[in-house]
Chain A
Amino acid sequence: MRPETEEALAQMIVSADGPLRIVGGGTRPIGRSVGAALSLAGMAGITLYEPGALTLVAKAGTPLAEVQTRLAAENQRLAFEPMDHRALLSTSGEPTIGGMVAANVSGPRRIAVGACRDFMLGVRFVDGAGHIIKNGGRVMKNVTGYDLVKLLTGSYGTLGVLTEVSLKVLPDVETQATLVLDGLDDATAVAAMAAAMSSPFEVTGAAHDPAAGRTLLRLEGFAASVAYRAQALAGVLAPFGTVTVLDDPAQGAAIWAAIRDVTAFAGQEGDVWRLSVKASDAPALVAKAGARAAIYDWAGGLVWLLTDGDLRARLGDFAGHATLIRGQADVPVFQPEPAPVAALSAGLRAKFDPRGIFNPGMMG
């Protein structure tokens, strides 16, 4: 199925006699969805872009690359730095903006500016009864009615099929620099990243790669400002070790793209888990995980783990959640929720998708 209009999509949903597997670019096969493929590729194109208002509206099937090219021409960008899952998940094809929103995909800069959901201004979608629904809009401040925009973002297609999304965009930066600390253990690295994030120097990336023995902190902005802050931040980090400053923007871009896309785990044997926790809890949890490898992003708030078996059983009760992004472990892909929360989530799914046909088995 490949609808080209909302009306055609609504009709297909109404007449569907079984589960639907909703597909954007097909580059992020997270979760175990079954059913007939419903592709959004036929609903593509940027419908509005106002650089002066920092606003972009695009149909769900629009290739992300097209959006990024258009933004770059105006020296703007998607500030939440969406991850490209293709290397990690061995997929091909073109990621779409709808898929990015459905999975709330963000990257290292999330620690400073917020996630995809924080940049979402509006959605149009079709629910399980075939109703065409809009929420939010194209303006930056909007509290008119409930925020279904956030509810739909990261719902992995289980509440509705996104047809159009509007986003806040931000100016791109003149340059960047990355400060590197070598050889820190995980706990010291998390402490160093916390010190950096607690400084006023506007760190926009804080990652730690234990295998490489490197702790990375990114600064971005106008050249003079980056140079000033690099010096000031090096002072803050001095108690943790010797600081090297990499100020070649191309080198920095490559380093952060690798962190963003978790390329270190690409092609490696084992399941890939995404752990979202309180940063200071991360080192102890990583120790419990007994993983083959770990990568810390978001100053430790996000940990990627390469491991086998039931990670959650090894972690025990912890604050946060673990999602199985790639792998075979015979466990729920998404973290099971406490009963009262699970009841609300199930209730919402039953309202928005009463026949349970959207990506069944994905999240709930």
Chain B
Amino acid sequence: MQMPLPNAGVLSRKDQIVARLTAVLPPDALMSDIAETRAYECDALTAYRCPPLAVVLPSTTAEVAAVLKVCHELGVPVVPRGSGTSLAGGALPTADCVILGVARMTQVIETNYPDRYIRVQTGRTNLSVTGAVEADGFFYAPDPSSQLACAIAGNIAMNSGGAHCLKYGVTTNNLLGVTLVTMDGTVMEIGGAHMDAGGLDLLGVICGSEGQLGVVTEATLRILPKPEGARPVLMGYDSSEVAGQVVTDIIKAGILPVAIEFMDRPCIEATEAFAHAGYPICEALLIVEVEGSPAEIDAQLALIMDIARNHKPVELREAKDAAEAGRIWLGRKSAFGAMGQINDYMCLDGTIPVSALPYVLRRIGEMSKEYGLAVGNVFHAGDGNMHPLILFDANKPGDLELCEAFGADILRLCVEVGGCLTGEHGVGIEKRDLMHVQFAPADLEAQMAVKDVFDPAWLLNAAKVFPLDSSAPRRAA
């Protein structure tokens, strides 16, 4: 993965930059010693590392604005960082950058139940947003797998999803307003506690802009009353075509489950060996979860079970209580960990039209043989968001490169069938150079024009999202 050469002028002025930043921050909010900055050299895409010039950990919007103002004046690149859980390298530093981490900004600013929102500083973790309101019967809906660790700042940057977005949507559908600090240090409110934009939907384009338009320091998030209950059903089939048809039939029957998860045979086998969830060893396993009162759940599950039976499942198991529900979810929730026990893996997240599922799985199987690398598939089947996990050996020379080439081919396949490169992880550096596969030059120009408006000097996280050859003229300007 190529990264731009660090700006020699910036590197040579490190002492001056550190001194200026120190002057606008509390004593313990800046690190510039390599022994400390090394902790920030990568995010969850650990194959790529680079210690930054310095790390700042502000506690307030005013401190963020002060830092950005200094960096803007001195022409220093800034890489914003939430909790560093990006799988796409969204928070990967460059040697000439200041990492602006929001980890100390974790306060709940306001909780409003009548209007059903919470306002938080964006360093707060996803799960602790729900934690702040669940005793009162509410929750924050987007639930990325990393929700224990990931920060709202990163969720907004990547427009994160989760397992339950078929019903509840992703971050952008649950975000009402933000405090945005642009690269020149200007602080502004976009949106608020009301429900729609009065002018252009700037909030809509800020969400998912991967930290390239500004630093979001506070966010107003929609919270929802917890459903009365939820229960899953598990079904196994001997072909992915049939499982795909079951998903289609459920949706066409007018049922909207909160989650439809799919696992293929390699993934089921690995998970069983690791978590012993009691899954049937078959070609395709579905977990379908519905919500409501006990009677409503019974009624919906009865409809779903009828559809499932029509397609001759090899296994059909309805959770009767919380313990059984837990066992059904156990394997799915352990899937990544299970694959990690076998080997190093790379997790992709391309999205495809649901109708293309059988074809795409067959092609991935064929490519797996060609590349000689095993792959397991976990899949948010309701919304077409795939998670192929390619296994490789990081200690074997050339294996990472082979794995990346395989991954790129899978993503090209996703685009070819009408889908996209990334459904919820973001582009970062990982998919940056594949953007040409999905977008024509004019499409990328239009997106880069947005960054020109928010960050004319291209100082914020500039080496991400856009292919380096596309962004080069702007980054050099």
Contacts and interface: CB of A to CB of B under 8 A. Distances in A.
Contacts of A138: 353, 418
Contacts of B446: 127, 131, 133, 135, 148, 352
A298 interface: yes
Most buried by B among A138, A198, A222: A198
B143 to A, nearest CB: 13
B313 to A, nearest CB: 19
B425 A143 contact: yes
Nearest to B177: A319
Contacts of A277: 194
B193 interface: yes
Contacts of B398: none
Interface stretch (B232-240, B266-274, B332-340, B447-455): B447-455
Query: Which residue, B137, B165, B201, B439, has most C-beta atoms of chain A within 10 A?
Result: B201
Interface in A300-328: 301-302, 319-321, 323
A319 B431 contact: no
B445 interface: yes
Interface size class of A (residues with CB under 8 A): 35 or more
A220 B199 CA distance: 32
B422 A144 contact: yes
A137 B256 contact: no
Contact of B196 (A104, A140, A151, A155): A104
Given A144-B420, A320-B198, A341 B384 contact: no
A337 B202 CA distance: 12
A171 B251 CA distance: 7
Contacts of A198: 113-114, 116, 137-138, 225
A334 interface: yes
A146 B209 contact: yes
A87 interface: no
Contacts of A323: 198
Interface stretch (B28-36, B41-49, B101-109, B291-299): B291-299
Contacts of B424: 141, 143
Contacts of B197: 104, 154
Contacts of B251: 51-54, 171
Given A147-B204, A191-B114, A341 B199 contact: yes
Nearest to B228: A200
B453 to A, nearest CB: 4
A351 B452 contact: yes
Interface stretch (A110-118, A210-218, A243-251): A110-118
A277 B195 CA distance: 7
A339 B200 CA distance: 14
8 contacts: A53-B248, A104-B201, A138-B418, A144-B435, A145-B443, A146-B209, A340-B188, A342-B199
Interface of B: 112-116, 137-138, 158-159, 161, 165-166, 169-170, 172-173, 182, 186-190, 192-205, 207-209, 225-228, 247-249, 251-256, 292-293, 295-296, 299-300, 351-355, 380, 382-385, 418-427, 431, 435, 438-440, 442-447, 449-454, 465
